[in-house]
């Protein structure tokens, strides 16, 4: 029987957290345990979480350990990954069959988890899955553009076996792409599921400003060991988004700054070779192929949108 553990690291999410709570409470298949973890909020987030714990038996309100501050960009220091791992350290994962991460600014439709767990049951090789994020940019709710094999960090769901096989999530920028690469390296499939949608109330990469978000994506490309040739092509594509041109320059700046600083990145030669093979496949008009366990020649195409949550 499936048992679902859900973790929500939340920092200053008072504007949207109640909508997230209401949507989870209305699930046709609610989580067995939902841990809402306040990560040093300065607004009403802790009070909203505590109220939810009092109202719903499957909710627990917790506080994350104090974190080092490095400016206002929590994504850049992987703050949510750290809060997630700190919370998970006190949980007996063996009690659960699936573990998920849900951001505090996401609103789910009532059958969301029921449908998602149904896909896991029907596909034993599915390791990481999630719904498609819809965002409202003033023209109605529309899906964000990502490859089907990428799952937003805001709505990640792992089978426990996959989560254990990949060693959990890493506490560095780009964790929500690193986990998928490692999953495919171990032979698991990873994908966002059409028809399983969720509303994201804060547009991706805008918490600290759009251009800073683009620079963060460039920094993530360095962390993930993406080659300079790919970064150049990617910057041209990014430059087509508003503000035109500046977005591509911000992406290149983030990558170049990470190179100059020699920032920590994934120091795993098998990972580097696997990523390189996936990138080469992306520039060919060939079908996506899932990898055999440990085979650096296989794997799905690398997500176009990297380092997002």
Q: How confident is the model at residue 78 (pLDDT cuts 50, 70, 90)?
A: confident
Indicate whether 309 pLDDT > 50. no
What domains, with CATH codes, occur in the chain?
Answer: 4-200 (3.90.550.10)
pLDDT of residue 104: 97
**pLDDT averaged over the chain?**
88
Q: How far apart are CA 232 and CA 153, in angstroms?
A: 25
Q: How confident is the model at residue 128 (pLDDT cuts 50, 70, 90)?
A: very high
Q: Is 164 helix (H, G, I), strand (E, B) or coil?
A: helix
Cβ–Cβ under 8 Å, residues 85 and 37? no
| Preceding amide of 243 cis, omega within 30 | yes
The total of other beta-carbon atoms located within 10 Å of residue 31's CB is 22
68 backbone φψ class: left, alpha, beta (φ>0; ψ -120 to 50): beta
pLDDT of residue 205: 52
247-269 residue pLDDT tens = 999 999 999 999 999 999 999 99
Q: Is 295 helix (H, G, I), strand (E, B) or coil?
A: coil
DSSP for 250-261?
A: HHHHHHHHHHHH
Q: Is 111 helix (H, G, I), strand (E, B) or coil?
A: coil
CA dist 296 to 159, 257, 276, 299, Å? 23, 29, 9, 8
Beta strands in the chain (DSSP E): 4-10, 33-38, 59-63, 98-102, 106-107, 126-136, 141-143, 155-159, 189-200
């Amino acid at each position: 029987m499936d048992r679902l553990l859900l973790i929500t690291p939340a920092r200053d999410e008072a504007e949207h957290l109640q909508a997230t709570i209401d949507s989870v409470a209305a699930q046709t298949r609610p989580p067995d345990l939902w841990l809402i973890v306040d990560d040093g909020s300065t607004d009403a987030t802790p009070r909203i979480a505590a109220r939810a714990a009092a109202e719903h038996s499957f909710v627990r309100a917790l506080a994350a350990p104090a974190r080092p501050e490095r400016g206002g960009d929590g994504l850049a220091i992987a703050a949510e990954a750290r809060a997630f791992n700190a919370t998970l350290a006190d949980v007996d994962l063996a009690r659960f069959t699936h573990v998920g991460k849900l951001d505090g600014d996401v609103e789910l439709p009532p059958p969301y988890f029921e449908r998602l767990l149904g896909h896991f049951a029907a596909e034993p090789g599915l390791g990481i899955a999630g719904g498609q994020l819809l965002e409202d940019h003033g023209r109605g709710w529309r899906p964000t553009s990502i490859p089907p094999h990428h799952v937003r960090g805001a709505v990640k769901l792992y089978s426990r076996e996959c989560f254990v096989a990949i060693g959990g999530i890493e506490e560095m920028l780009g964790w929500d792409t690193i986990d998928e690469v490692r999953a495919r390296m171990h032979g698991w499939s990873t994908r966002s599921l059409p028809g399983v949608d969720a509303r994201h109330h804060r547009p991706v990469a805008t918490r600290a400003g759009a251009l800073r978000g683009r620079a963060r994506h460039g920094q993530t490309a360095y962390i993930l060991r993406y080659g300079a040739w790919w970064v150049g092509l990617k910057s041209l594509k990014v430059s087509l988004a508003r503000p035109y041109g500046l977005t591509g320059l911000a992406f290149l700046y983030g990558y170049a700054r990470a190179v100059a600083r020699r920032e920590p990145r994934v120091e795993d030669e098998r990972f580097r070779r696997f990523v390189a093979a996936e990138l080469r496949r992306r520039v060919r008009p060939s079908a996506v192929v899932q990898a055999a366990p440990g085979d650096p020649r296989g794997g799905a195409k690398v997500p176009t949108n990297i380092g997002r949550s």
